[in-house]
Amino acid sequence: PFDEKRIRAFVEQDYDRSGGFLSATNHFMLKGGEDWKGRLGQMTAPLLVIHGTEDPIFPVEHGAALAEAVAGARLVRIEDGGHELHPDDWAAIVDAIAAHCQAQISAEPDLDTPSAIVK
């Protein structure tokens, strides 16, 4: 359920922290990500993609494409989840992260040697 009071407080805090409207809404102006898109297939670190099925900004197909671009990646869909994290979804998110981490611990015999992110 939509908690207007909580969302309003969150947005106000985010806005106040940003320093103003322009810096709060300039994410689309960021550059550099396109340089990495073609290198996703080089990732060797275990990747867990968590994506809301009702994200109005980046549809869940974006999360699916990311998971497909990285060998061995796993996609967890948060049913009815949007773009922001909702308290009702935290248990599912934490469970997914815990299971992902546990699988990596079980699969990685030498935990003192960090895995490379890209080759």
Q: What is the pLDDT of residue 87?
A: 85
User: Based on the domain organization, do 56 and 81 belong to the same domain?
Assistant: yes
pLDDT (tens digit, 9 = 90+) per residue, 60-89? 999 999 999 999 999 999 999 988 888 889
For residue 78, report the phi and psi dihedrals to the nearest 5 degrees.
-95, 105
Domain enclosing residue 1, as ranges: 1-30
Check which CATH number belongs to the domain holding 69 and give it.
Answer: 3.40.50.1820
pLDDT (tens digit, 9 = 90+) per residue, 90-115? 999 999 999 999 998 887 655 555 55
User: Based on the domain organization, do 54 and 90 belong to the same domain?
Assistant: yes
Total number of domains in the chain: 2
User: Based on the domain organization, do 55 and 4 belong to the same domain?
Assistant: no
User: Based on the domain organization, do 49 and 81 belong to the same domain?
Assistant: yes
CA distances from 54 to 64, 68, 79, 109, 115 (A): 13, 19, 7, 38, 33
Q: What is the pLDDT of residue 95?
A: 96
Residue 26 reports pLDDT greater than 50: yes
Nearest alpha carbon to residue 84 among 29, 21, 2? 2
Percent of all residues in the chain with a pLDDT value above 70, rounded to a whole number: 87
User: Based on the domain organization, do 92 and 43 belong to the same domain?
Assistant: yes
User: Based on the domain organization, do 13 and 44 belong to the same domain?
Assistant: no
User: Based on the domain organization, do 89 and 45 belong to the same domain?
Assistant: yes
